[in-house]
Chains A and B, each alone.
Chain A
Amino acid sequence: MNTGLSGKSERAQPASPPSAQADVAAVLCEHPAVCDAVACRRSKPGDEGMVAFVLANESYLDDVMGRKDAASSQVRRWRKTYDLTQLAKTASASPLAFNIAGWNSSYTRQPLAPEDMQEWVQTTVDRISTLAPSEVLEIGCGTGLLLLRLAPACKRYVAVDFAPAVLMRLREQLAQTGDLREKVELLERSADNFEGLVENSFSTVIVNSVAQHFPSQAYLNRVIENAIRVVRPGGHVFIGDQRNLLLLEAYAASVEAFQATPEVSVQELRNRIDRRIQQEQQLVLSPSYFLLLKQRFPEISRIEIHPRRGTRDNEMTRFRFDAILWVKTESPPPAGIPFFDPPGEGWSLNDMRSRLAEQKSDAVGFARIRNPRVDGDLRLLVRLASADPQQLLAAMREELARSEARGIHPEEIVRLAAETGYNVAISWTACYPDGSYDAAFIRQDSPKSSAFPSVNWPQPTSAAFVYCTNAPGQAEIRQRLVDELLSHCRTRLQGKPVPASLRLVDALPRGADGRVDCQALLSATR
């Protein structure tokens, strides 16, 4: 059994603690960089070292370790990146309301197909429109792909962007739109600058496809804290088009395998995938990040996590999701929908159709539906893990091409619901590591039915909360902190056991008994 002793939580103190772990946790918590810490002992034969897990003090990382300076520099680079996109000829020649300069595919490094972007824009606008926005604050409005479609139905639309060349293009477009100019206000500023924006003054804050350019989780936390402040009771914060951390490895494998030539070996491909993950420059979030927000901000009444809509096959539909936060809203309690686990071979559309036909109550849920959008990428990862390192990618590609994608496409689920008289909601709340999703079918004539029904979604395991985001561009700073904390342990615990390794985590999940769940921490750590 793994035991976990947190250094700062009284609830976590057991009756008779194993002293070595308790000593380590207590010593770590003396350090100003540490908010809380726990030491766990691996109990696998042959791997019995102690691992320390630390919740770092974000202010210490920012101010003492120099992360704030690095973050400012990162924001400046992104600003310049976006400004440069608007200096291209394609930007000035764009049709009204469809300036997609700078939207490039990670696979081809070429501009995304206009059809992909049209679907991306339309599905986003549809989802936000369902929230009935009237007074909108959009953070990171870019060239107005959403603004120019949403603003006509709004009373007021405040749009923020940090890139002056981008806003210049948007102003040019607004000049052609007549009455929109009267209700749209453009502000050139960074995303975390809420100066002059009044509390409770917006129905909806939109942060779409922007948070990946934030330099750290702490920065995103600040933006969300302020977004919640300016949203009035009953309003929403829409954080859309977020890259899913749970699928980061699948994404990296997918892109690297696409770009590799056939003579690349398995070992070389593995190296490239690892390098891509290590050098990731964007903030990538697990859905669990949003679920944890509810503990941090009691104003959040409800959270929904939806995979992206769309039939096009691209990196947005495969790897991204939308998170919607309901702020200070009196929501009905979640409908007690029974969720069925999948049969051994996974759900099929026929299975689901039969269940729906037999269904007596007005709602039913299907858990863990395999996701064909990413099935090929996950198969590739599995195959890479066991393949001969010298095998060539060409042979593996042939092998993988022979297998069909398993699972049910989310858009097929939507069609099935429409055919059978149901509305359906699809969720990534459960944080399945393979991109599987849950679906709740509610009869169209049921009082529970709505555009965003309140559903008792299956919940993630504790391990899903251990790592909620990556830390782009912070590898060196975080390694320095780890070294400093291990050195602190060695100095303060002379002659006593010290941890063999130390991990910076986003949460120290606890079991029902209040003790930190070491099993979850160890299982989430590779």
Chain B
Amino acid sequence: MENKLAIRQFIERLLAQKGDRQPFRDSDSLILSGRLQSVDAVEVVVFLEEQWSIDFTQIGFDHNQIDSVDAILALIESVGASK
């Protein structure tokens, strides 16, 4: 629950920086839908690296892995990462 809140807050902030204050569901596509661009995806990656020590050089990278809140939560769980 704590993870989800942190992720949602981060994404809300990222979208707000782009003037996008529309609500989003946990399952909503964020990158493949175009609400976030590939350069914004970098911010998400850095956030995950810093907060959960996820090492993408080890697990590989695909935009699908971070395309929604649900996808990010599943990624954190799959690599057994913790804050």
Residue numbers of A with Cβ under 8 A of B are: 77-78, 80-81, 84, 87-89, 104, 109, 165, 259, 275, 279, 281
Q: Are B34 and A259 in contact (CB under 8 A)?
A: yes
Which residues of B8-56 have CB atoms within 8 Å of chain A's CB atoms? 18-19, 31-32, 34, 37-39, 41-43, 45-46, 56
Q: Check if B39 sits within 8 Å of A84, measured CB to CB.
A: no
Residues of B within 8 A of A (CB): 18-19, 31-32, 34, 37-39, 41-43, 45-46, 56-57, 60-62
Measured in the bound complex, the distance between the Cα atoms of B60 and A275 in whole Å is: 32
9 pairs of residues in contact across A and B, judged by CB atoms under 8 Å: A77-B39, A77-B43, A80-B45, A81-B39, A84-B56, A87-B61, A88-B61, A89-B62, A281-B37
* B37/A80 in contact, CB under 8 A: no
Inside 8 A of A259's CB, which chain B residues have their CB?
A: 34
Q: Please name the residue on chain A nearest to B45 by beta carbon.
A: A84
Instruction: Give Cα A281 to B19, complex, Å.
Output: 14
Give Cα distance in the complex from A104 to B34, angstroms: 12
B57: which A residues are within 8 A, CB to CB? 87, 165
Decide: A77 and B42 in contact? CB cutoff 8 A: yes
With A and B bound together, what is the CA distance between A109 and B37 in angstroms? 9
Contact between B41 and A84 (Cβ–Cβ < 8 Å)? yes
Which residue of A is nearest B29, CB measured? A109
Complex alpha-carbon distance, A259 and B35, angstroms:
12
Write out the residue numbers on chain A whose beta carbons fall within 8 Å of the beta carbon of B60.
Answer: 87-89
Q: State in angstroms the CA–CA spacing of A168 and B74 once bound together.
A: 29
On whether the beta carbons of A275 and B62 are closer than 8 Å, the reply is no
Please measure, in the bound complex, the distance between the C-alpha atom of A81 and the C-alpha atom of B60, giving whole angstroms.
Answer: 13
The closest CB in chain B to the CB of A168 belongs to B57
Taking CB as reference atom, which chain A residue is nearest B42? A80
Beyond the given A81-B39, A279-B18, could you list 17 further A-B residue pairs with CB under 8 A, ordered by the A residue number?
A: A77-B39, A77-B43, A80-B42, A80-B45, A81-B42, A84-B41, A84-B42, A84-B45, A84-B56, A87-B56, A87-B60, A88-B62, A109-B32, A109-B34, A165-B57, A275-B19, A281-B39
Assembled-state Cα–Cα distance A89/B59 (Å):
10
Q: Contacts of B41 on A, CB cut-off 8 Å?
A: 81, 84
Contacts of B19 in A (CB 8 A): 275, 279
Closest Cβ neighbor of A89 among chain B residues:
B60
Return chain A residues, CB-CB under 8 Å to B34.
109, 259
Q: Do A78 and B62 touch across chains, with their CB atoms under 8 A apart?
A: no
Q: Smallest distance from the beta carbon of A479 to chain B beta carbons, Å?
A: 14
In the complex, A174 Cα to B18 Cα: how many Å? 40
Contacts of B45 in A (CB 8 A): 80, 84
Q: In the assembled complex, which residues on chain A have CB atoms less than 8 Å from the CB atom of B42?
A: 77, 80-81, 84
How distant is A106 from chain B, measured CB to nearest CB, in Å?
9
CB nearest neighbor in A for B62:
A88
User: Which 5 residue pairs across A and B have the least CB separation, nearest first?
Assistant: A87-B61, A80-B42, A84-B61, A77-B42, A87-B60
- How far, in Å, is B62 (CB) from chain A's closest CB? 6
Bound state CA distance, A84 and B46, in angstroms?
A: 11
Report the bound CA distance from A381 to B46 in whole Å.
Answer: 38
What CA separation (Å) do A229 and B32 show in the bound complex? Answer: 42
Q: Which residues of B contact A78 (CB under 8 A)?
A: 39
Complex CA gap A137/B37 in Å reads 31
Q: Within the complex, what minimum Cβ distance (angstroms) separates B8 from chain A?
A: 22
In the complex the two chains form, is A81's CB within 8 Å of B38's CB?
yes
- Of chain A, the residue at the smallest CB distance from B37 is A281
Chain A proximity of B18: nearest CB distance (Å)? 6
Q: How far is the CA of A84 from the CA of B38 in the complex (A)?
A: 10
Cα distance, A61 to B32, chains bound together (Å):
35
Distance in angstroms from B40 CB to nearest chain A CB is: 9
Give the most central of A80, A104, A165: most B CB within 10 Å.
Answer: A80
Cα(A104)–Cα(B60), bound, Å: 18
In angstroms, Cα B31 to Cα A104, docked, is 13
Residue of B nearest to A272 (CB): B34
CA distance A104 to B38 in the complex (A): 10
Distance in Å: Cβ of B31 to nearest Cβ of chain A: 8
Complexed CA–CA distance, A320 and B67 (Å):
30
Assembled-state Cα–Cα distance A80/B41 (Å)? 10
A213 nearest in chain B by CB position: B39
Q: How far is the CA of A87 from the CA of B39 in the complex (A)?
A: 15
Nearest CB on A from B30, distance (A): 12
Q: How far is the CB of A329 from chain B (nearest CB, A)?
A: 38
